[in-house]
Chain A
């Protein structure tokens, strides 16, 4: 995302003009834009006019609309963001208060305004939002570490794209492969068919051009991780090799970027194992998700060791922060960015203040994990918030009262 203009004031209100340049930027926009914000973007609106005679005519007009955001709808598969809200600027074709849904488009600027409000009813550009904005703008330009992972097992393959902030399941291939039977060759046949379909799907999802001529334009081939328990991934790799050497020579370009790794199952939740495998680590060294995955593993390790130096759950973490356990010297607050997408202003303020406190007052580290990543998903299971503590905190008995509170976040 390109930052076109930034006029954020000290009190936190102000506007930012951004230009999304790649699909993942939509995801950033999805995190930045919150209900209550003002969003100005170009829009195409169908305007129906009624003549005096009663006849109606409708025309599509190009407008620039400013809306007060009511809700957001993000489609991760196609990276499309639809923001709906009420129009607040008057144009020749629209009235104030009419509803409109803006579809943010790539390479089209939009301006986002957040207001604190006189008595602080809005949240404005709080520290988390500014952090997210930095992430989104990516001034260092170190992004681009992307990979395609195919997590598979017999008769099941998940093709997903691992981006900087998102892991998108692009397609799932599911096929019934007959089991081995006495004297039956159905299994091999079934696997052959399964491999064929998976490869076709993979190439389609990657937009991989198998024609030989396309090799000339030197397009970058992303790393392809094939992961499976047992020998399925190896078999698939062999299949691709044999395809490349026999029917589709264009596949040869793909071969060098293939990495075969082990995973415990063909389901997406074994992706963490894939990302932690040495082969992948060298390939995608020190990317954000690799760090996040590591962090989660560390946390779960601590939890397993029962050292009481790790805790999770909103209440528990807040209590630990209160006790000063998430501070200098190893205190890490891990939060899912889903918490900041909350519709409720008070809710968001609660989390932002927690973040500010840990970072600024306690001196601890704050990591906001993407809920669309594998590690973020693991964190979601723990209520979206966890902390590594500097010293063991004896767990209070919160049994009775936190039922409702926790369940509200656990889902």
Chain B
């Protein structure tokens, strides 16, 4: 057991030292120590026979005795008397001390533990029984920095010893209870100097008790000190070979092996915690206490004049060669321990003996707390002044537009055509789509497949969700938001419309389709985009080829639609009409070559798009971004969100807050329109690659903001709305961009005058379509909404109202 302990000291103490720096002495304690020292010195001198001791000795003794002056005096007296008797021995050995640095000082050692050396003192066969169990070859711990063994300034103690002593001291300070604990060094020292138990002030039994206590106290160290027990064990082991070999082999056991090939011999040399039985009485007598090493260390610390070789020398004289294990024992032990110990080497230190299990666990729990599976990612922010950067940058003006219209009006195809003609889609991809589309008998959908990427969308030939794509002209970078036309997917369309600066309304001009569309989503979509704040609308009268570019048809449509759009609130100057054909590409980017279409001399769709004026966004407002999608961006970006910045700006490395979850995340990187960027400002479509957040906290419809200016979550709000249908207290779905939640109109506060906004009638029973009213809406779950936000209320699959949050 004791061997085991000493060997591990170094390894262990490194950690220990690293963990808590307890070398700093307490000033008060120092003072007290001075007083006590003076007292002890005085008593020593006064006593009979009068002896002298150095301050260090005294202080150390005091320390071990917990400042018990009387005990210290007794101890020192006994020790000095012994020293007087054997003055010769130290004299001879002192020189050696200089040659060999302090005790556990790692000697420039042989690479490996040599069994032959180790057992040299041990007779073959006839190994005393008590030794067998005690043999422990210390594990080949990797050498750690503090084991360097360079002698300290005094040259007397190694760092290792110093560390051990320091730890010991700390321990002693902590353990208020056990006065015996610090006393443990005493026996060893006395043994070191005199080695005759009878001479030492403590009896053998006392020493044994003390040694056990010391062990017990050491065990209290817990996990960090797991290896520590071994430290006390290794000293005796070293002591034994020392006498015969004259050059001290012990270091060859410990430090060198630690340095090199720790793995190789690990199996054989790992100590078992269980083997740490307390030494037999005989062993204790012979070896000094198990605690021997522990006392040796403090002595080094205090630069006691009792040097180690002196101690070794004493050992020489003693006939305890048999204490060393026989080679057979070593092998057997190693084998038995190797099994139990494989676990030990995995990062954690060895499991302590049962006695320390409890404490060990406590510490383990503590250290587990520090262990974090999650790796915090930190991204260095460039701390850009985003707005300044934005002003500096010479980007093209950019515009987002949403493509709306009744289902099957040809929205996706029109956009596919636009992209293809603008070269945003290469011909090969287009050919591929065409082939695949023809394969499933939907050849005319090939262009739509540019936008409709979903497998279900392609199979059914219906756009389900919004798709964004971009293309550039000489003047403008456009982002297309292709919205679904089917009535079931109006929520998705609302999400798309919320990202748009202006809208392209696609109308199917073919006979019957236009009329059904007008009743259907043509109307609803137009109303929606208007209520979402879109001012400008371009009407693409599509499929003109199916009506042979009939001018009258076009004019009829123009008339009806413009009448409707004006009532919906669009200004006539913001409405423009373009007859076109998405499938053929006429009047999209190029003029129609069809002679029948020659009557149209206005702008093509693309030219019309380019007339759009740049839109200003609230760059200096607090950051707001509605999450459009949460997805896995790839291996490097496990969590990404996309969306359009509604307000404010952000940059790489920013900390963001998502509401309503209230979780923070770190922006690992930013992509603007698919291109990596350091920053982004309002109005841009961005992909944010996030870190330090669980994806469970992110849902589309959540709002990204800053912790400094968070968006509030509400469960009820008042809104000024324009009713499209009859409104009464009813259940509605509340839409705001991607966000849609169930709620209910709980109160009709008043119907308002359309122009003045004054209350016409308080608490109306029902609000008729076309009226403006103020209502209170309650929502079941808290959602991030703040005024002024445009909201849409839907019920039963139709849009019943749209308005502004107040």
Residues of A within 8 A of B (CB): 176, 178-184, 186-188, 229-231, 235, 262, 264-265, 267-270, 272-273, 300, 303-304, 306, 311-313, 316, 377-378, 381-383, 395, 398-400, 402-403, 406-407, 410-411
Contact (Cβ within 8 A) B744 A381:
yes
Tell me the bound Cα distance from A383 to B469 in angstroms.
Answer: 48
Task: Please name all residues of chain B whose beta carbon is closer than 8 Å to the beta carbon of A411 when the two chains form the complex.
Answer: 746
Tell me the bound Cα distance from A329 to B630 in angstroms.
Answer: 57
Contact (Cβ within 8 A) B629 A181:
yes
- In the complex, B174 has a CB within 8 A of chain A: no
Within 8 A of A (CB), among B429-468: 453-457, 460, 464-467
Give 12 A-B pairs besides A181-B453, A312-B765 with Cβ atoms closer than 8 angstroms: A178-B629, A179-B628, A182-B467, A188-B456, A229-B797, A230-B488, A264-B795, A269-B744, A270-B796, A272-B796, A381-B728, A407-B747
Contact (Cβ within 8 A) B726 A304:
yes
Contacts A/B (CB < 8 Å), 11 sampled: A178-B630, A182-B467, A265-B740, A265-B797, A268-B742, A269-B733, A273-B797, A306-B768, A400-B762, A406-B763, A410-B746
Contact (Cβ within 8 A) A311 B765:
yes
Task: Please name all residues of chain A whose beta carbon is closer than 8 Å to the beta carbon of B466 when the two chains form the complex.
Answer: 179
Within 8 A of A (CB), among B754-776: 761-763, 765-766, 768
Tell me the bound Cα distance from A213 to B466 in angstroms.
Answer: 46
Of the candidates A304, A311, A312, A400, the one having the most CB atoms from chain B within 10 angstroms of its own CB is: A304
Closest to A383 in B: B729
Closest to A186 in B: B631
Task: Please name all residues of chain A whose beta carbon is closer than 8 Å to the beta carbon of B797 when the two chains form the complex.
Answer: 229, 264-265, 270, 273
A55 → chain B, closest Cβ, in Å?
Answer: 33
Contact (Cβ within 8 A) B489 A176:
no
- In the complex, B632 has a CB within 8 A of chain A: yes
- In the complex, B491 has a CB within 8 A of chain A: yes
- In the complex, B731 has a CB within 8 A of chain A: yes
Contact (Cβ within 8 A) B488 A229:
yes
Question: Which secondary structure dominates where chain B touches chain A?
Answer: mixed
Contact (Cβ within 8 A) B729 A410:
yes
Tell me the bound Cα distance from A268 to B729 in angstroms.
Answer: 17
Task: Please name all residues of chain B whose beta carbon is closer than 8 Å to the beta carbon of A400 when the two chains form the complex.
Answer: 762
A312 → chain B, closest Cβ, in Å?
Answer: 7
Stretch at the interface among B321-329, B539-547, B576-584, B694-702: B694-702
Task: Please name all residues of chain B whose beta carbon is closer than 8 Å to the beta carbon of A235 when the two chains form the complex.
Answer: 456
Closest to B457 in A: A180
Contact (Cβ within 8 A) B729 A231:
no
With A231-B456, A264-B796, A303-B728 given, is the CB distance from A381 to B763 under 8 Å? no
Looking at the complex, which one of B742, B746, B766 makes contact with A306 (CB distance below 8 Å)? B766
With A264-B796, A303-B726 given, is the CB distance from A378 to B464 under 8 Å? no
Within 8 A of A (CB), among B698-744: 698-700, 726, 728-733, 740, 742, 744
Tell me the bound Cα distance from A395 to B467 in angstroms.
Answer: 50
Contact (Cβ within 8 A) A230 B464:
yes
With A188-B455, A235-B456, A269-B742 given, is the CB distance from A377 to B731 under 8 Å? yes
Tell me the bound Cα distance from A403 to B749 in angstroms.
Answer: 10
Contact (Cβ within 8 A) A176 B698:
yes
Closest to B628 in A: A179
Task: Please name all residues of chain A whose beta carbon is closer than 8 Å to the beta carbon of B553 when the two chains form the complex.
Answer: none
Contact (Cβ within 8 A) A178 B632:
yes
The interface bits of chain B over 610-631 (1 if a CB of A lies within 8 angstroms of the residue's CB, else 0) are 0000000000000000001111
- In the complex, B745 has a CB within 8 A of chain A: yes
Looking at the complex, which one of B465, B728, B768, B795 makes contact with A382 (CB distance below 8 Å)? B728
Contact (Cβ within 8 A) B728 A182:
no
Closest to A402 in B: B763
Contact (Cβ within 8 A) B630 A304:
no
Task: Please name all residues of chain A whose beta carbon is closer than 8 Å to the beta carbon of B456 when the two chains form the complex.
Answer: 188, 231, 235
- In the complex, B486 has a CB within 8 A of chain A: yes
Closest to B776 in A: A410
Contact (Cβ within 8 A) A381 B742:
no
Looking at the complex, which one of A181, A231, A312, A410 makes contact with B464 (CB distance below 8 Å)? A231
Contact (Cβ within 8 A) A181 B631:
yes
Number of B residues near A (Cβ < 8 Å) is 49
Tell me the bound Cα distance from A391 to B469 in angstroms.
Answer: 58
- Closest 5 pairs (CB-CB, A-B): A264-B797, A229-B488, A269-B731, A267-B742, A178-B631
Task: Please name all residues of chain B whose beta carbon is closer than 8 Å to the beta carbon of A377 when the two chains form the complex.
Answer: 731
Closest to A403 in B: B763
Task: Please name all residues of chain B whose beta carbon is closer than 8 Å to the beta carbon of A265 when the two chains form the complex.
Answer: 491, 733, 740, 742, 794, 797
Contact (Cβ within 8 A) B460 A184:
no
Contact (Cβ within 8 A) A303 B766:
yes
Task: Please name all residues of chain B whose beta carbon is closer than 8 Å to the beta carbon of A267 when the two chains form the complex.
Answer: 733, 742
Task: Please name all residues of chain B whose beta carbon is closer than 8 Å to the beta carbon of A182 when the two chains form the complex.
Answer: 453, 467, 469
Tell me the bound Cα distance from A179 to B453 in angstroms.
Answer: 10
Task: Please name all residues of chain A whose beta carbon is closer than 8 Å to the beta carbon of B726 when the two chains form the complex.
Answer: 303-304
B724 → chain A, closest Cβ, in Å?
Answer: 13
Task: Please name all residues of chain B whose beta carbon is closer than 8 Å to the beta carbon of A410 when the two chains form the complex.
Answer: 729, 746-747
Task: Please name all residues of chain B whose beta carbon is closer than 8 Å to the beta carbon of A312 when the two chains form the complex.
Answer: 728-729, 765
Tell me the bound Cα distance from A382 to B748 in angstroms.
Answer: 11
Task: Please name all residues of chain B whose beta carbon is closer than 8 Å to the beta carbon of A183 when the two chains form the complex.
Answer: 453
With A230-B488, A381-B731, A382-B728 given, is the CB distance from A176 to B699 under 8 Å? yes
Task: Please name all residues of chain A whose beta carbon is closer than 8 Å to the beta carbon of B732 when the two chains form the complex.
Answer: 269
Contact (Cβ within 8 A) A304 B766:
yes
A141 → chain B, closest Cβ, in Å?
Answer: 34
Tell me the bound Cα distance from A262 to B730 in angstroms.
Answer: 20
Task: Please name all residues of chain A whose beta carbon is closer than 8 Å to the beta carbon of B491 when the two chains form the complex.
Answer: 265
Task: Please name all residues of chain A whose beta carbon is closer than 8 Å to the beta carbon of B762 when the two chains form the complex.
Answer: 399-400
Tell me the bound Cα distance from A411 to B716 in angstroms.
Answer: 12
Tell me the bound Cα distance from A381 to B731 in angstroms.
Answer: 8
Tell me the bound Cα distance from A392 to B4 in angstroms.
Answer: 101
Closest to A308 in B: B765
Task: Please name all residues of chain B whose beta carbon is closer than 8 Å to the beta carbon of A229 when the two chains form the complex.
Answer: 488-489, 797
Tell me the bound Cα distance from A403 to B732 in angstroms.
Answer: 23
Tell me the bound Cα distance from A18 to B290 in angstroms.
Answer: 81
Tell me the bound Cα distance from A400 to B630 in angstroms.
Answer: 49
Tell me the bound Cα distance from A11 to B253 in angstroms.
Answer: 102
With A265-B733, A312-B765, A381-B729 given, is the CB distance from A180 to B747 under 8 Å? no
The interface bits of chain B over 566-600 (1 if a CB of A lies within 8 angstroms of the residue's CB, else 0) are 00000000000000000000000000000000000
Closest to B730 in A: A381
Contact (Cβ within 8 A) B453 A382:
no
A365 → chain B, closest Cβ, in Å?
Answer: 22
Contact (Cβ within 8 A) B731 A186:
no
Of the candidates A176, A402, A411, the one having the most CB atoms from chain B within 10 angstroms of its own CB is: A176
Task: Please name all residues of chain B whose beta carbon is closer than 8 Å to the beta carbon of A300 when the two chains form the complex.
Answer: 728, 730
Closest to A264 in B: B797
Task: Please name all residues of chain B whose beta carbon is closer than 8 Å to the beta carbon of A399 when the two chains form the complex.
Answer: 761-763
Task: Please name all residues of chain B whose beta carbon is closer than 8 Å to the beta carbon of A188 when the two chains form the complex.
Answer: 454-456
Task: Please name all residues of chain B whose beta carbon is closer than 8 Å to the beta carbon of A268 when the two chains form the complex.
Answer: 742
Looking at the complex, which one of A230, A306, A395 makes contact with B489 (CB distance below 8 Å)? A230
With A229-B489, A303-B766 given, is the CB distance from A179 to B465 under 8 Å? yes
Closest to A187 in B: B454
Closest to A271 in B: B731
Task: Please name all residues of chain A whose beta carbon is closer than 8 Å to the beta carbon of B747 when the two chains form the complex.
Answer: 407, 410
Tell me the bound Cα distance from A402 to B765 in angstroms.
Answer: 13
Contact (Cβ within 8 A) B730 A378:
yes
Contact (Cβ within 8 A) A273 B765:
no
Closest to B765 in A: A395
Of the candidates A184, A377, A398, A402, the one having the most CB atoms from chain B within 10 angstroms of its own CB is: A184
A291 → chain B, closest Cβ, in Å?
Answer: 19
B752 → chain A, closest Cβ, in Å?
Answer: 15
Looking at the complex, which one of B486, B761, B765 makes contact with A230 (CB distance below 8 Å)? B486
Closest to B630 in A: A176
Task: Please name all residues of chain B whose beta carbon is closer than 8 Å to the beta carbon of A273 when the two chains form the complex.
Answer: 796-797
Contact (Cβ within 8 A) B768 A179:
no
Task: Please name all residues of chain B whose beta carbon is closer than 8 Å to the beta carbon of A270 when the two chains form the complex.
Answer: 796-797
Tell me the bound Cα distance from A300 to B726 in angstroms.
Answer: 10
Contact (Cβ within 8 A) B731 A179:
no
Task: Please name all residues of chain A whose beta carbon is closer than 8 Å to the beta carbon of B469 when the two chains form the complex.
Answer: 182
